[in-house]
Amino acid sequence: MDDRLAAAWARLPDYLSQHVALSASALTLGLIISLPLAVMAHRHSLVRWPVMTLASLIQTIPSLALLALFYPILLALSAAAEPFGVTFSALGFLPSLLALTLYSILPILRNTIVGLASVDADVREAALGVGMTDRQILTRIELPLAAPVIMAGIRTAAVWVIGIATLSTPVGQTSLGNYIFTGLQTENWVFVLFGCASAATLALTVDQLLGLIEGGVAKREQRRIIIGIIGLALIVLASLAPGLVPKRASYSIGAKSFTEQYVLAYLIRDRLAKNDLVGRRRAGLGSSVVFRALAANEIDVYVDYSGTIWSTQMRRSDQPGRAVVLREMEDWLREEHGILTLGSLGFENAYALAMRRDHAQSLGIRTVSDLARASPGLTIGGDFEFFGRPEWNALEDAYGFSFEDRREYQSTFMYRAVADGAVDVISAFSSDGRIAANDLVVLEDDRQAIPPYDAVLLISPARANDAAFVGALRPLVRAIPVEVMRDASLMVDRDNDKRSVREAAAFLAHEIGLEQRR
Amino acid sequence: MTTSSPAIAFQAVRKSFDSGRTFAVDSISLEIAVGEFLAIIGGSGSGKTTTLRMINRLLDPDQGTILIEGVTASELSPHDLRRRMGYVIQGVGLFPHLTIAENIAATPTLLGWTRDEIDARVAELLDLVGLAPAEFINRMPGTLSGGQRQRVGIARAIAARPHIVLMDEPFGALDPITRDSLTRSYRELHDRLGLTTVMITHDVQEAILMADRLAIMKDGRLLAIGTAKQLAARDDRDGVGDLLDMPRRQARRVQERLSDDAHG
């Protein structure tokens, strides 16, 4: 079997069980909320309009945005609740659960209201006439008659929830989406396909089982209902099984959503394992999500870049030089957030503007100032973050670009785009192996608009004094040359002789001489 | 409750659906004796359905009192009251997800009868309304003809042995032949079981053929009440005599057409 396929299968129990647990919880919570709400809306027409409008409104929010919104909201709530002794994690399960629950409400709510309203007026009159109370009419007449329509709503909700649950990866919840997000970043198409196929299979299976129950309810066949319920129960029980295995106290390792970060997270995990510590990776997090998560002790360690902290968190735009940036950043992190800067890893990964070498030469572009002069005829491509970041503002202020057009890409496709000539220049990362692989040149920042980007190992406030943990990671400080980092990333990103992230991390550990140490 | 009390009594009952600007039922007083069959006749908007629905408290009067077997209706719980009365409507309203037997057993089930009592009663009732128990017990309402459905509706209404049965255009949706046979068998049932029946109809002939007395309603008021003979003999300021004479006029026209055809 293909290595990547084997790796995908190995992760399936973990991903699938967390995906099922999340979807099942969201659907259950959605049912608990929507059914009484629908009954209320059915009885009181004044409630119906606002309830339906609100549910429809929620549906119009893009799923990824809804998931992302819950993180800062929960973080604020968590901080507000802390003085009262209530603590909860704003990362992972909770924001995903809430967002998916909101999504499951509309189809269940709408179908239940429609189902209840479609009960024949004569039937309702007769039910009153034989002496049923409102409650008896609801439970004996209206709900049984509306059941097939309600079940159809539950089916729709289930398929939606299982699909959208794949988007919970960026807020730190493990799901089948991990295959897709990791695969997309590392150009591991086997992973992407595997993630899609497994999510689709799960959705279809659950849909069929619910369909069986729906048919059973409509045709009053108990056998179908029982088979459907047993099938669903087996899926949920199986998803709980991995959770029953007792886990040792573990450290949470954060990673942003690009290859270098995936490799470093694996490297950190291996370091911890060598010191008999358990590390769990939470990869694919958004840039500011991961920082806030560290400050809030949601994760224990991750690698960030001095320039990112400098401009995005500290909101500084001056350029006092590499050493000063590092020192001031360290002080600021400690004083403002209690975060420990263990040290820089030894390489820089700066935002840099890069062009295809032949293209740059033919246009006579060597520096960013050259680029600015030629910009009216050129198109620039950036990753999803770039044009919203202070670095871009600093570049624009310093050079005054007037590009003809600008486009945003997921970083994998951004490199493809510049190689294909779809864009002329991109926001590359200086330690990215794909710069060399695609024969790109990095343009010199001749006015020094972009700050230095030393990769730094950051430790959460809660773990700053954890000697075993900090000790295990200290050998990584100043140990990684940029060439080695670039090679390790490229092993994962390249099209030929592609390696897994785990292999790249092992290569990295070997190259920097950490393999033999214990 | 005393034996001399009427089954149902209306005392100056008024009901408005627009906060008193107009009255759907306006100052109605009448008494219906135990064992009597009363038909209420009137056009649409005359207030006949509102009158009927106040008897089993599907509606409550704004003013006046309704007595059921000597007891003020508003002092009884609506559900208990409805379980003590039969209610038959034009659309029947069988519960489509329940079998015929379960439909008929609706009120006895609510009253907590035992399984055996219910089974015996359902068979008895199907016999009573002319449907073979063995054939119908487990069928679903959707598989029945219109006439069969209303027979089941009647069986459901009298299942818990009520003294009073209320009917709102019960035979209005049936074809003439089914209608004729069902009206006759219901009147028989009424007499055999000693029921008190209040039936709404817009069909004067049906009212004359089935009921002991007729109540004529117009614009929420009780225009006249009496036996068909009494009403037909009245001096006809208000059109009541004319209304009662209608079936006879129609029969005469039918006769004429038939003899015209014979000569033509």
Is A128–B94 a contact, with Cβ atoms under 8 angstroms apart?
no
Tokens matching residue A53: 């409008």
All residues of chain B having their beta carbon less than 8 Å from the beta carbon of residue A126 are 87, 89, 92-95, 153, 156
- The nearest CA of chain A is from the CA of B200 a distance in Å of 16
pLDDT of residue A243: 60
Which of A303, A126, A360, A416 minimizes the C-alpha distance to B107? A126
Q: How many CA atoms lie within 13 A of A384 on its CB side?
A: 10
Q: Identify the pLDDT of residue A248.
A: 53
Instruction: Copy the structure tokens of residue A97.
Output: 């659960």
Q: What is the DSSP letter of A475?
A: G
B149: contact with A, CB 8 A cutoff: no
Given B56, B79, B93, which is nearest A126 (Cβ)? Answer: B93
Interface A:B, Cβ pairs < 8 A:
61
Backbone region of residue A265 per phi and psi (left: phi > 0; alpha: psi in -120 to 50; beta: other values)? alpha
CA proximity to B195, closest of B168, B163, B167, B166: B163
Give the least confident one: A273-287, B45-59, B167-181: A273-287
Residue in A130, A136, A217 to test binding to B, most B beta-carbons within 10 Å: A130
**Environment class of residue A331 by beta-carbon count within 10 Å: exposed (0-12), middle (13-18) or buried (19+)?**
exposed
With an 8 Å Cβ cutoff, is A130 touching chain B? yes
What are the beta bridge partners of residue A183? none
Helix (H, G, I), strand (E, B) or coil at B233: helix
Tell me the average pLDDT across B208-230.
92
Taking the Cβ of residue A133 and every Cβ of chain B, the question of whether any pair is shorter than 8 Å is answered with yes
CB A131 to CB B80 under 8 A?
A: yes
Amino acid at A27: L
- Give the nearest chain B residue to A124 (CA atoms): B93
Domains present along chain B, CATH in parentheses: 35-42+77-259 (3.40.50.300)
- Chain A residue with CA closest to B57: the answer is A129
Distance separating alpha carbons of residues A314 and A272, to the nearest angstrom: 30
**Is A126 at the interface with chain B, CB within 8 A?**
yes
DSSP classification of residue A140: I
Shortest CA distance from B155: residue in chain A: A130
Query: Structural domains in chain A?
Result: 14-244 (1.10.3720.10), 253-348+458-511 (3.40.190.10), 351-442 (3.40.190.120)
Q: Which two tokens stand for residue B216?
A: 């004529």
Q: Shortest Cα distance from A39 to chain B (angstroms)?
A: 20
* Distant-in-sequence, close-in-space partners of B230: CB < 8 Å, separation ≥ 6: none
Smallest CA–CA distance from A120 into chain B, residue: B93
Q: Do A126 and B79 touch (CB under 8 A)?
A: no
pLDDT of residue A516: 47
Q: Which residues of B167-187 are buried (b: 16+ CB within 10 A; e: fewer)?
A: bbbbbbebeeebbeebbeebb
CB contact under 8 A, B79 and A123: no
Per DSSP, helices labelled H in B129-239 are 133-136, 146-157, 176-193, 204-210, 228-233
ipTM of the complex: 0.91
Of the candidates A159, A377, A385, A203, the one whose C-alpha atom is nearest the C-alpha of residue A291 is: A385
**With an 8 Å Cβ cutoff, is A144 touching chain B?**
yes
Closest CA to A433 of A303, A308, A259, A302: A259
Which residue stretches of chain A have pLDDT < 50?
516-518
Q: How many helices (H) and strands (E) does chain B have?
A: 11, 10
Contact in structure between A264 and A301 (CB atoms under 8 Å): no
Distance of CA A158 to the CA centre of its chain: 21
Q: For A86, phi and psi rounded to 5 degrees? A: -100, 125
Nearest to A214 by CA among A201, A204, A227: A227
Query: Which tokens go with B80?
Result: 């208990």
DSSP A450: S
Which letter, b or e, does each residue of B203-233 get, where b requires 16 or more Cβ atoms within 10 Å of its Cβ?
bbebbbebbbbbbbbbebebbbbbebeebbe
pLDDT band at B1 (very low <50, low <70, confident <90, very high): very low
- Backbone dihedral region of A246: left (phi > 0), alpha (psi from -120 to 50 degrees) or beta? beta
**Contact with chain B for residue A124, Cβ under 8 A:** yes
Answer whether A26's CB lies under 8 Å from A70's CB.
no
Tokens of A442: 């990095």
Q: Are B109 and B101 spatial neighbours (Cβ–Cβ below 8 Å)?
A: no
Q: At which residue do the structure tokens 């005599």 appear?
A: B241
On chain A, the residues whose CB falls within 8 A of the CB of B94 are 123, 126
Is-contact A399 A373, C-beta < 8 A? no
Contact B214, B205 (CB under 8 A): no
Across the interface, do B110 and A125 touch by the CB < 8 Å criterion? no
Distance of alpha carbon B141 from alpha carbon B95, whole angstroms: 7
Percent of residues in chain A assigned helix, strand, coil, to nearest 5: 65, 10, 20
Q: Which residues does chain B have within 8 Å of residue A122's beta carbon, measured at their own beta carbons? A: 89-93
d(CA B30, CA A156): 57
Distance from the B51 Cα atom to the nearest Cα atom in chain A, whole angstroms: 15
B82 reaches A (C-beta below 8 A): yes
Q: Encoding tokens for residue A193?
A: 């396909």
Place of tokens 């909770």: A94
What's the length of chain A?
518
What does the pLDDT read at residue B3? 55
Under 8 Å between Cβ of A171 and A92: yes
Taking an 8 Å cut-off on Cβ atoms, the answer to whether B89 and A125 are in contact is yes
Distances (CA, A) of A36 to A242, B51, B258: 33, 35, 64
In whole angstroms, give the CA distance from residue A329 to residue A291. Answer: 14
Cα separation, A186 vs A411, in Å, equals: 10
Let me know the angle formed at the C-alpha of A135 by A130 and A139, rounded to the nearest 5 degrees: 90
**What SS3 state is found at B165?**
strand
Place of tokens 């255009």: B169
Top-confidence residue, B1 or A23: A23
Which SS3 state, helix, strand or coil, does residue A440 take? strand
